[in-house]
Amino acid sequence: MAEEEQGITLTDEQKKKRRSRSIAIAVALGALVALFYVVTIVKLGPSVMDRAL
């Protein structure tokens, strides 16, 4: 593992906290993607769907 190569060993507690932080970061990034998607629709309006094929 990369951590062992760097000479750092995480404790179980650190691993548990890291996992919960990773999930929180994933949720935040997902929310950001959804936010930009919704705002794009809001700014462009219904015409975003109206384009020549």
Q: Which residues bind other proteins (CB under 8 A)?
A: 7-11, 13-14, 17-18, 20-21, 24, 32, 35-36, 38-39, 42
According to DSSP, residue 7 is labeled: T
Residue bearing tokens 């929310």: 31
Residue bearing tokens 């650190």: 14
Minimum gap (Å) between residue 52 Cβ and other proteins: 27
Q: Compare residues 11 and 52 and give the one whose CB is closer to other proteins.
A: 11
44: left (phi over 0), alpha (psi -120 to 50) or beta: alpha
Q: Compare residues 24 and 48 and give the one whose CB is closer to other proteins.
A: 24
